[in-house]
Amino acid sequence: MYIEMPIKGDSVVKTYSIAEARDNFTGVVHEAEKGTTVELTRRGKPVAILVGVEDFDRLTKSGSTFMAAYEKFRREFDLEELQIEPEKELGDIRDPSPGRDFHW
């Protein structure tokens, strides 16, 4: 027996006890390969997640730097259309004040 639970759009989480997953291991792996996230439980409590290689790679791939992501954003979107003035994009974001005093 398994439980289906939709999360974040179309992705589905299927939950199996470890015993159920062991009895149908090949089927559980096929589900993960197809993009279904499989949650494994022991005594009703989640203990592990099984995901396909594509999802694993997407989740563990080192992301780009902030500046690389920002430059990509600038290439993909028209700053004028978004009413962002290029000269004021990052100029005054950080407050130059030293902040508040903190005492233990």
Between CA 71 and CA 29 the distance in angstroms is 39
Give which of 48, 94, 89, 55 is closest to 70, Cα–Cα. 89
CATH of domain 3-60: 3.40.1620.10
17: buried, middle or exposed (CB in 10 Å: 19+, 13-18, 0-12)? middle
The reported pLDDT for the residue numbered 19 is 96
Higher-pLDDT residue of 41, 58: 41
Residue with tokens 């233990």: 104
The structure's pTM equals 0.52
Dihedral sign (CA 59, 62, 68, 70): positive
